Amino acid sequence: MHHPAHDIQTVAEPNLLFGFPALFFGSLAVAGGVAFFLNKRWGSLPKMGERHYDLLVLILGLWCLGGLLTDAFAHISGVVDDTFFTPWHAIWYSGATAYGLYITYAILPDEGLTHLVKHPFQALDSVAPHHKPGVYGIVIFGIAGFGDMIWHELLGVENNTDILLSPTHIGLFIGLIMSVTAPMWSAWPDAKSGTNGAKSQLLLVFGIGAAWSVMMLMFRYSNLWFRPLQHFCYSGSTNFCDYGNYNEALEFGLQGLWLQALLTSGMLILFLRRWQPARGSMFILFSFNAVSMWVYSEFDQTVLWMSLVWAVIGELAVPLHGKFGMQVYVPFMAAMQVMIFMTSWFIQAQDLSNVTYWNEGTELHVLPFGWTIHATMGAVVVAAGIAWFATIVAVGPDIPEELKEK
């Protein structure tokens, strides 16, 4: 359970240069065929703001996300590319190319492509504010993708956590987050959006779920769900845990738990600040996160089941939001993230000691992590407190009317 990531080594893959163009152009050819079919069926592909536009944008964004997950798994599992031109990059960048071509079509001015090429900033400025994230996102992604190719070929390939800190990769993450959340921003100013059951919220939760997947990758190194118990437990006089110093073990663990509580809060607030969740929506959102967690953990079944339990609880707890608002629902879900994690480790943590608790001086240490009873219970409470504070910052008290007038 929660096995550590393998040591990443460069693996020589045969026919990588052939694999890239075959997948890249093959995928685009299939996408072109689908676009031709839709164009014939609908009369024309939808322009920005028209029916089906948000759906196509989301599908193209999910294509990019699929490439990201494939590339991330390749790095995490140790199949590291020694060139930019790999099959997994082909999946990622073919999706980005298809997305970029569609956005180019969607913002094409009446004067035609020549005018767009000559006056690109004018065309970008004319985009409605609620459509700009999707458009600007693919622009950022494209620039970062071209830069990533140069970065890889000139400066080498990143390994381990470095893949999350490469400047070009950060640009790709930001562009992808903006791209997949485009349907949400498009729907934001529409008072009727998301008011007709779960079906009306599918594009919204899929977009936010995809963005959550990207954020999970960016902060994967701080997620204890992907780590073995030894990395953050304390076992007293035994040699089971990595840390002999209690405070070091505790502080390492808390940093991971609390950063994930903040990340969870941000993703939930992004949706709940604007929409009342329909039945099924929260389960879909958390399930999207569960699939990402499963991939990032190298298909660890325990991580998948933990994530799905969290998804079920998130759905069952929706009445809390209906009655008390997100100021209660979000902290509850942040606390449950810690509780589920602790519960899943409790039985297996018997390896830490022959007892479920022990005393060191006046301090009572308990399983599953060997932390004191204060820290074990306090970690749950503080996770909820971080989430509660995040909701206060997001919503805040009303500004006095006299100040609004000024």
179 plus 301 within the same structural domain = no
Bigger pLDDT: 215 vs 90:
215
**Considering the domain boundaries, does residue 200 fall inside one?**
no
From CA 260, how far away is CA 98, in angstroms rounded? Answer: 33
Q: How many domains does the chain fold into? A: 2
**Residue listed under structure tokens 């000139």:** 154
Give pLDDT tens digits for 128-187.
Answer: 888 888 888 888 988 988 888 788 777 776 666 777 788 888 998 898 898 888 888 888
Residue 363, SS3 per DSSP: strand
Domain-embedded: residue 379? yes
User: Residue 148 falls within a domain, yes or no?
Assistant: yes
Same domain, 311 and 162: no
- For 282-316, the pLDDT digits (tens) are 999 999 889 889 988 888 999 999 999 999 999 99
Residue 101: CB partners within 8 Å, gap ≥ 6?
A: none
Q: Which residues pair with 363 in a beta bridge?
A: 360
Closest to 65 in 3D by CA, of 191, 262, 213, 199: 213
* Residues 264 and 388 occupy one common structural domain: yes
**Lowest mean pLDDT segment, chosen from 231-240, 243-252, 337-346:** 231-240
In a domain, 219, yes or no: no
Assess if residue 401 is contained within a domain.
Answer: no
| Enclosing domain of residue 31 | 1-190
Same domain? For 151 and 246 the reply is no
Number of H helices, E strands in the chain: 16, 4
Is the same domain home to 46 and 93?
yes
CA distance 6 to 8: 6
pLDDT at 84: 66
pLDDT digits (tens, 9 = 90+) for 20-48: 788 888 888 998 999 999 989 998 888 87
The burial class, CB within 10 Å (0-12 / 13-18 / 19+), for 129 is exposed
Question: Distance between CA atoms of 122 and 154, rounded to whole angstroms?
Answer: 34
Specify whether 184 is located in the same domain as 248: no
DSSP reduced 3-state for 386: helix
Q: Assess whether 175 and 43 both reside in one domain.
A: yes
79 or 222: which leads in pLDDT: 222
Q: How far is 310 from 289, CA to CA, in rounded Å?
A: 10
Closest CA to 285 of 167, 161, 181: 181
Rounded to 5 degrees, what are φ and ψ at 353? -160, 165
- State the residue for tokens 């609880």: 313
Alpha carbon distance 238, 245 (integer Å): 12
- The answer to whether residues 215 and 267 touch, using CB atoms and an 8 Å cutoff, is yes
Whole-structure pTM value: 0.82
Half-sphere exposure of 224 (CA within 13 A, CB side): 27
Q: Are residues 131 and 236 part of one domain?
A: no
Q: What is the pLDDT of residues 175-197, one digit of tens each?
A: 889 888 888 888 898 888 899 88
